[in-house]
Amino acid sequence: MGKRRDGREAAIQFLFNRDINKELGPDDFDAFFSICIAPAGAKKFAKELLSGMLDKLEEIDKKLEPELENFELKRLSTIDRNVLRLATYEMFYLDDAPPIVCINEAIEISKRFGTEDSGSFVNGVLDKMKDKLDRPLR
């Protein structure tokens, strides 16, 4: 696995923790990442992702909610919700990875940490989201 995948997974782990303890925020990154086993470069990437994503969380949720058909964001599993949020942030607010890569990474991470249906669910939602992008997919 590469630094970026490790970073995304570390970010998901922080977000999972944050769902349990709503008080966690950017001030808690150092404490969390001091016990995280990811390499230093991955931790740095995770912190960058988290800082941006948490700053844009309300906007990200507004983008996601219409695409969830018959689901509510707050009722999704913690993993699925946070994988979708992170991938949406990367697709809409960052230019350093093509959207197709962000989708594939999200699918793989959701398969690893989520349920047996997480990969296909995340794929379906992000496939709809990619149609709203105004940049090349590859």
Please list, in sequence order, all residues whose beta carbon lies within 8 angstroms of the beta carbon of residue 19, skipping any fewer than 6 positions away: 78, 81, 82
CA atoms of 92 and 45, how far apart (whole Å): 17
Following CA atoms 87, 90, 96, 100 in sequence, which dihedral angle do they give, to the nearest 10 degrees?
Answer: 40
pTM for the structure as a whole: 0.93
CB 94 within 8 Å of CB 133: no
pLDDT of residue 37: 87
pLDDT of residue 83: 98
pLDDT tens across the length of the chain (138 residues): 588 999 999 999 999 999 888 888 888 998 999 988 888 999 999 999 999 999 999 999 999 999 998 889 999 999 999 999 999 999 999 988 899 999 999 999 999 999 999 999 999 999 999 988 876 677
CA 72 to chain centre: 17
- Tell me the domains of the chain and their CATH numbers: 3-130 (1.10.940.10)
